[in-house]
């Protein structure tokens, strides 16, 4: 039998590795920024065009590379970070696998210029699909500049799976935030399509957070600090009143590396227990420093998932540290056992009892009795004539027997009857509706019984209403007497600008979206003023991360977001008129059987099914 196992060519192996390392343009940004940080750069510039599909360029003033190092850096498993397997258990750098540049060069056009501090000239390399097209000397400043163009040019199927430029840009911005937040000692610049998006000077952690997420973030932060033998915890948590309904500013860093840890996230949520509602998420920026030998960061190609040796202890320390910080800065309610001398009884009154005030009443006073006149000729009180008081009862039937109330009518509590639409196979019939468990609306139909899920039904009604308003641009807006000012960071304002036209079509009105504080001057009719901020936050989060996996239009996305936020919730009491209106409006929809999120809105129970229960 002929041998069938053979070694893959290098360019094929590189493309396979690229599938693990480079998932989208944001993956390239992450690898290049981390390489610049490992090169001890103090100034890093990130330049992006068309969501990273056309160009991703990172320029730094780091150590640079020699001609040999520059060429070798694009080989698989070529790295300066480790030299033996033992080094994997004591990592201090970002990268160490030696696959990033080789994987990127396998699926893009790469152009690199680099020069060390002592070299007179630099090196210029051009690589396309793992093949070196050009290598020459060039005059260049100290550091490295890498341009990645036409990502996935040789893998059309992977390129077709990329999302829109706006979605890819948001992922790049997220990666930029994760790197910039943990390195405040490095100056960062971020340019998108020729305009500067972020200009982050060197600062401390608190200032870096406010530079990225807005100046108002400074007053929302509560410092967290604790040092133990197992872990050192530093950073900030947001005050409970600024918790959001969407996962917003939530960042964990372990040894200056961004990580994702649902287990430690639960520790933070547990620390906020009793301070925020169960459906809200607290914001946090937490930095964990542990012994490098006690953490494994090589369990996932993206290195965002890590494994701690003693995760349970870190959980307990993190939870108690946050609780202590919230109490220390008077954010959480605490018992104060300190004695306040200002509340003591003065010495002169210590032995005295309380004096009960006395109230005297003249029992003989009669307001209808005329008092004798005083020597001056004036009486202290004079009775006013009550003549004409009988006129108050003019027009009333004096023959009414006031002792017999049998003729009085009491307003009936009987439910108003209305028309209930059934599906196409059933006839309509008038019936009585009632609410079950504050969640379902029950009514009778000719063939049995109808049970409607009030939340899902209202979502379907509002979804079709808002989708129609966005399409025909005829949404009705109610103007606010006083404009409402809301604070959004740069990324959130960019999303608002992107969906501004659709928001205006459903009834929103904005004064300006250029400044950090956004003024809302009008809202849809169904939206209360108190819920404006929550609805906009939720819609931004939905647009940012909720529906990226589906081919869904912007109008449909916003209609879904508004319907979910404004629909009647389970647990709300509906009067008889509202129940009937909900039923009638549901069966007036184009697709009454499913909610916008493809969940069943109602079910029918036939008379036969009911009869079987009694057999």
Please check whether residues 175 and 288 belong to one and the same domain: no
Q: Say if residue 479's pLDDT is above 60.
A: yes
The answer to which of 78-82, 208-212, 245-249 has the lowest mean pLDDT is 78-82
Please check whether residues 485 and 614 belong to one and the same domain: yes
At 53, the pLDDT band (50, 70, 90 cuts) reads: very high
Q: What is the mean pLDDT of residues 443-451?
A: 87
Please check whether residues 20 and 44 belong to one and the same domain: yes
Does residue 109 fall inside a structural domain?
A: yes
Please check whether residues 103 and 223 belong to one and the same domain: no
Please check whether residues 263 and 145 belong to one and the same domain: no
* Residue scoring higher pLDDT (400 or 476): 476
Q: What pLDDT is attached to residue 97? A: 55
* Residue scoring higher pLDDT (450 or 9): 450
Q: What pLDDT is attached to residue 525? A: 82
Token code pair at residue 295? 């953490």
Do residues 67 and 39 touch, judged by C-beta distance below 8 A?
no
User: Domain tally for the chain?
Assistant: 3
Cα–Cα distance between 455 and 542 in angstroms, integer?
Answer: 19
Residues 186-242: tens digit of each pLDDT: 999 999 999 999 999 999 999 999 999 988 888 899 999 999 999 999 999 999 988
pTM of the model: 0.70
Please check whether residues 463 and 600 belong to one and the same domain: yes
Q: Say if residue 58's pLDDT is above 70.
A: yes
Does residue 598 fall inside a structural domain?
A: yes
Q: Which domain holds residue 436?
A: 416-615
The mean predicted confidence, pLDDT, of the chain is: 82
Does residue 368 fall inside a structural domain?
A: no
Q: What percent of the chain has pLDDT over 90?
A: 36
End-of-domain residue from the set 200, 215, 242? 200
Token code pair at residue 434? 């009632």
Q: What pLDDT is attached to residue 463? A: 92
Cβ-Cβ contacts under 8 Å for 552 (sequence gap 6 or more): none
Does residue 380 fall inside a structural domain?
A: no
HEC letters along 369-409: CCCCCCCCCCCCCCCCCCCCHHHHHCCCCCCCCCCCCCCCC
Cα–Cα distance between 216 and 485 in angstroms, integer?
Answer: 13
Please check whether residues 142 and 254 belong to one and the same domain: no
Most confident of 165-169, 215-219, 320-324: 320-324
**How many C-beta atoms lie closer than 10 Å to residue 555's C-beta?**
19
Q: Say if residue 310's pLDDT is above 70.
A: yes
Does residue 374 fall inside a structural domain?
A: no
Residues 502-554: tens digit of each pLDDT: 888 888 888 877 777 888 998 888 788 778 888 888 788 777 765 444 546 77
End-of-domain residue from the set 200, 222, 251? 200
Q: Say if residue 377's pLDDT is above 90.
A: no
Q: What is the mean pLDDT of residues 593-599?
A: 92
Q: What pLDDT is attached to residue 403? A: 53
Residue 64 DSSP code: -
Query: Taking Cα atoms as reference points, which of 596, 574, 571 lies closest to residue 461?
Result: 596
Q: What pLDDT is attached to residue 115? A: 94
Cα–Cα distance between 255 and 94 in angstroms, integer?
Answer: 10
Cα–Cα distance between 296 and 316 in angstroms, integer?
Answer: 20
The domain spanning residue 214 has which CATH number? 3.30.230.10
Cα–Cα distance between 331 and 276 in angstroms, integer?
Answer: 12
Tokens 């003989």 sit at which residue? 364
Q: Say if residue 472's pLDDT is above 90.
A: no
Please check whether residues 514 and 485 belong to one and the same domain: yes
The domain spanning residue 479 has which CATH number? 3.30.1370.100
The domain spanning residue 119 has which CATH number? 3.30.565.10
Q: What pLDDT is attached to residue 333? A: 62
Cα–Cα distance between 233 and 288 in angstroms, integer?
Answer: 5
Please check whether residues 245 and 180 belong to one and the same domain: no
The answer to which of 138-152, 242-256, 331-345, 431-445 has the lowest mean pLDDT is 331-345
Does residue 388 fall inside a structural domain?
A: no
Q: What percent of the chain has pLDDT over 70?
A: 78
Q: What pLDDT is attached to residue 57? A: 96
Residue 272, Cα to own-chain centre: how many angstroms? 17
Quickly list DSSP for 527-557.
--GGGHHHHHHHHHHIIIIISTTS---HHHH
Q: What pLDDT is attached to residue 500? A: 85
Q: Say if residue 91's pLDDT is above 50.
A: yes
Cβ-Cβ contacts under 8 Å for 542 (sequence gap 6 or more): 246, 557, 560, 561, 564
Does residue 5 fall inside a structural domain?
A: no
Cβ-Cβ contacts under 8 Å for 197 (sequence gap 6 or more): 173, 190, 191, 490
Q: Say if residue 66's pLDDT is above 70.
A: yes
Does residue 209 fall inside a structural domain?
A: yes
End-of-domain residue from the set 170, 200, 230? 200
Residues 118-127: tens digit of each pLDDT: 999 999 999 9
Q: What is the mean pLDDT of residues 580-605?
A: 92
Cβ-Cβ contacts under 8 Å for 397 (sequence gap 6 or more): none
Cα–Cα distance between 239 and 446 in angstroms, integer?
Answer: 56
Please check whether residues 580 and 435 belong to one and the same domain: yes
| Alpha helices (runs of H) in 100-243, residue ranges in sequence order | 100-106, 156-160, 165-182, 205-213
Residue 135 DSSP code: E
Q: What is the mean pLDDT of residues 480-493?
A: 84
| Degrees, nearest 5: CA angle 38-40-42 | 125
Please check whether residues 195 and 278 belong to one and the same domain: no
Q: Say if residue 292's pLDDT is above 70.
A: yes
Please state the φ and ψ torsions of residue 106, each to the nearest 5 degrees: -75, -20
Please check whether residues 194 and 216 belong to one and the same domain: no
581 sits in which H/E element:
helix 576-586
The answer to which of 51-55, 159-163, 232-236 has the lowest mean pLDDT is 159-163
Residues 277-286: tens digit of each pLDDT: 888 889 999 9
At 428, the pLDDT band (50, 70, 90 cuts) reads: very low
């Amino acid at each position: 039998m002929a041998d069938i196992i053979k070694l893959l060519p290098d360019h094929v192996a590189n493309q396979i590795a690229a599938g693990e390392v480079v998932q989208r343009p944001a993956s390239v940004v992450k690898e290049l920024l981390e390489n610049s940080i490992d090169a001890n750069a103090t100034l890093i510039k990130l330049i992006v065009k068309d969501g990273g599909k056309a160009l991703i360029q990172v320029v730094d003033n780091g150590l640079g590379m020699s001609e040999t190092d520059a060429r070798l850096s694009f080989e698989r498993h070529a790295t300066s970070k480790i030299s033996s397997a033992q080094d994997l258990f004591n990592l201090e750098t970002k990268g160490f696998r030696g696959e990033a540049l080789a994987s990127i060069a396998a699926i893009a056009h790469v152009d690199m210029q680099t020069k060390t501090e002592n070299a007179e000239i630099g090196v210029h390399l051009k690589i396309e699909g793992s093949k070196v097209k050009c290598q020459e000397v060039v005059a260049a400043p100290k550091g490295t500049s890498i341009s990645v163009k036409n990502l996935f040019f040789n893998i059309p199927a992977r390129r077709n799976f990329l999302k829109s430029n706006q979605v890819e840009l948001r992922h790049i911005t997220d990666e930029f935030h994760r790197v910039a937040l943990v390195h405040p000692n490095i100056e960062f610049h971020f340019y998108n399509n020729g305009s500067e998006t972020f200009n982050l000077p060197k600062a401390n952690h608190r200032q870096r957070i406010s530079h990225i997420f807005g100046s108002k973030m400074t007053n929302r932060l509560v410092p967290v600090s604790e040092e133990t033998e197992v872990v050192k915890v530093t950073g900030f948590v947001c005050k409970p009143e600024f918790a959001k309904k969407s996962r917003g500013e939530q960042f964990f860093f372990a040894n200056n590396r961004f990580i994702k840890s649902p287990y430690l996230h639960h520790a933070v949520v547990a620390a906020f227990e009793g301070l925020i509602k169960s459906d809200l998420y607290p914001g946090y920026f937490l930095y964990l420093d542990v012994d490098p030998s006690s953490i494994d960061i090589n369990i996932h190609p993206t290195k965002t998932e890590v494994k701690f040796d003693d995760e349970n202890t870190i959980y307990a320390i993190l939870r108690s540290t946050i609780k202590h910080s919230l109490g220390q800065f008077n954010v959480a309610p605490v018992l104060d056992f300190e004695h306040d001398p200002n509340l003591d009884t003065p010495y002169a009154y210590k032995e005295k009892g309380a004096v009960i005030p006395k109230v005297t009443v003249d029992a003989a006073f009669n307001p209808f009795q005329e008092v004798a006149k005083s020597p001056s000729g004036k009486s202290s009180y004079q009775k006013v004539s009550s003549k004409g008081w009988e006129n108050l009862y003019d027009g009333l039937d004096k023959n009414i027997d006031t002792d017999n109330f049998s003729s009085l009518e009491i307003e009936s509590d009987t439910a108003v009857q209305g028309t209930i639409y059934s599906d196409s196979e059933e006839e309509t019939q008038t019936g009585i509706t009632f609410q079950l468990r504050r969640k379902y609306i029950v009514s009778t139909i000719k063939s049995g019984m109808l049970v409607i899920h009030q939340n899902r039904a209202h979502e379907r009604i509002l979804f079709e209403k808002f989708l129609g308003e966005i399409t025909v641009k005829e949404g009705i807006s109610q103007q606010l007497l006083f404009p409402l000012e809301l604070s959004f960071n740069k990324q959130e304002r960019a999303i608002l600008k992107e969906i501004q036209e659709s928001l205006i079509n459903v009834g929103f009105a904005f004064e300006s979206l250029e400044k950090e504080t956004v003024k809302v001057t009008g809202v849809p009719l169904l939206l209360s003023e108190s819920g404006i901020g929550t609805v906009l936050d939720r819609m931004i989060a939905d647009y940012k991360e909720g529906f990226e996996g589906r081919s869904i239009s912007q109008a449909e996305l916003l209609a879904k977001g508004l319907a979910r936020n404004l629909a009647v919730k389970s647990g709300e009491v509906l009067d008889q008129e509202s129940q009937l209106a909900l039923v009638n409006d549901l069966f007036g929809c184009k697709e009454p059987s499913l909610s916008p999120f493809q969940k069943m809105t109602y079910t029918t129970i036939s008379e036969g099914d009911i009869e079987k229960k009694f057999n």
